[in-house]
Amino acid sequence: MFEEFLLLLESEKGKIETVLKPHLDEKIFKQLVGGFFDETQKRFIAFAFMPIKRSMFYEYDYLFELSTSGHSAIYFSAEIREKKKNYIDQNTFQYKSIQELIEEGIYKSLLIIYTGEFDFNEWNILRSCCFSDTKDKNKMLQSRLDWIKENTLKDYFFSKDTIFQEALEHHTKLMSYVQTKNEAITIPSELKPFVGHSNLVALVRAEKKQKLNLAFQDYIKKAVYHPLIISLKTNYPDIYETVWGFYGNDCNFLTPSHRQFCLMLFMATYKRKKSLLQFYFYHLQENKLYKWIYFELHPYKEKFDYDLIQRVFSPISKLDNMDYIHDPRCNFDDDDFWNNFVLKKNNGEYQYLIEYKATISTP
């Protein structure tokens, strides 16, 4: 079967190279072993193999994010498991970091697995890294076949029970192991946009969304939110004595996927220790900051707790989970809410937005 596997990797290597070349650094692309597609030509698996030097961590960390991303490892020597440990005393040890394992020569090679699917009009590619104590490429490739029993190679790699399983089915299967039979399985907010798509697509796109949202929020905090808070504390010290957000954040965001505007949410505590929920809206195209006053015109009578936002928003939006304000994998794409309760105009003027003349930081 291994010879068949090698032939299969070589058979569609040219097509694999065409797909992967725009996505890979040239250093990695040169190490590509090969790969193959499923019958639809919309899914593929490919492998690259790299013998590694002890300087690899510093040379390639920026490509693989070794410091922050997970990895797996296969050991062919029984001694390695002991070499992975740093002993603090005779009875206590901690495992060595990936940097130590590379620099001490314990990790000798790296097999990189690329799994891809064409969806949302682009290739969604998941990369995984598997280190080993051998420099034998064939040993590493052979390890990919250890679990094959009666399946053909393509049936095994493209089985619907693998990473290509539909996202909601995959989640339901995982939850069935930890929840009772009578307990309803809810769909996580970050998974909702990907129901009907594969788990691979959900993982890749949720991670990409997370990185974009975190970068966007970091910019808004530095350029808009922090100058706003300084202005509010300076001009209204009695009202904005203490300012804080939910879930350990200084503020929280409701942001649509297009990121052309966002709603900032935070709590302000009076000197009398009364807390009020505050809303400010930043519009990127206008480069203007507004106070959102919908709840000043339509006051809510809810008492403060961590579900307050969900309760007061539920009559005017589809916000059914607090994930939307604290999980960077989630965007709030409720057009009815944005158009009719935030951006609604009357005679050309915003009905629920009042411009706030605060400094927007553009050094």
- 173 is a domain residue: no
The reply to whether 228 and 342 lie within a common domain is: yes
Q: What pLDDT score does 272 carry?
A: 65
User: What percent of the chain lies above the pLDDT cut of 70?
Assistant: 95
Residue scoring higher pLDDT (307 or 353): 353
Q: Where is average pLDDT lowest: 19-28, 34-43, 150-159, 259-268?
A: 150-159
Q: Enter the pTM of the model.
A: 0.88
Strand partners, 36: 45
Does any domain span residue 198?
no
Which range marks the domain in which residue 295 is found? 224-355
Same-domain check for residues 144 and 9: yes
Euclidean distance between CA atoms 73 and 133, whole angstroms? 8
Check whether residue 31 and residue 142 sit in a common domain. Answer: yes
Neighbours of 314 (CB within 10 A): 11
8-22, 105-119, 149-163 — which is least confidently predicted? 149-163
Averaged pLDDT for residues 102-124: 94
* 358 — pLDDT class (breaks 50, 70, 90): low
Please, what is the average pLDDT of the chain?
Answer: 89
For position 304, what pLDDT does the model report?
Answer: 65
Q: Are strands 288-292 and 252-254 parallel, antiparallel or unpaired?
A: unpaired
Q: Which amino acid is at 221?
A: K
Is residue 101 situated within a structural domain? Answer: yes
Q: In the numeric block, which tokens belong to residue 69?
A: 């991303």
- Which segments of 221-300 does DSSP mark as H helices, in order? 226-235, 294-297
pLDDT in tens, 57-76: 878 777 777 777 778 888 88
Average pLDDT of span 313-339: 94
Q: How many domains does the chain have?
A: 2
- Domain end position, chosen among 152, 171, 198: 152
Q: Is the pLDDT of residue 306 over 80?
A: no
pLDDT at residue 329 in the model = 95
Q: Are 162 and 295 in contact (CB under 8 A)?
A: no
Q: Given pLDDT bands bounded at 50, 70 and 90, which one contains residue 151? A: confident
Segment holding 231, helix H or strand E: helix 226-235
Q: Do residues 351 and 232 share a domain?
A: yes
Task: Tell me the average pLDDT across 165-175.
Answer: 89
- Cβ–Cβ contacts within 10 Å for residue 98, how many? 20
Residue 175, pLDDT score: 84
Does 284 reside within a domain?
yes
Question: Is residue 130 domain-resident?
Answer: yes
- Token reading at 276: 């009020």
Distance CA 239, CA 229 (A): 12
Query: In terms of domains, do 147 and 58 share one?
Result: yes
338: helix, strand or coil: helix
Cα(341)–Cα(295) distance, integer angstroms: 10
What's the pLDDT at 174? 85
Would residue 207 count as lying in a domain? no
Examine the domain organization and report whether 231 and 349 are in the same domain. yes
Q: How confident is the model at residue 18 (pLDDT cuts 50, 70, 90)?
A: very high
pLDDT tier at 34 (50, 70, 90 boundaries)? very high
* Mean predicted confidence (pLDDT) in 330-337: 96
What pLDDT is attached to residue 14? 95
Residue 162 in domain: no
Q: What are phi and psi of 50, to 5 degrees?
A: -130, 115
Domain boundary (108, 131, 152) is at: 152
Which pLDDT tens digit goes with each residue over 235-290?
A: 888 888 888 888 888 899 999 999 999 999 998 887 667 778 899 999 999 999 99
Inside any domain, residue 205: no
Which residue's entry shows tokens 């009666």?
A: 150
Q: Judge if 139 and 247 occupy the same domain.
A: no
Of 101, 128, 152, which one is at a domain's C-terminal end?
152
Same domain, 137 and 252: no
Q: Based on the domain organization, do 139 and 282 belong to the same domain?
A: no
Q: Are residues 238 and 326 in the same domain?
A: yes
> Which pair of structure tokens corresponds to residue 145?
């076949």
Tokens of 60: 């390639």
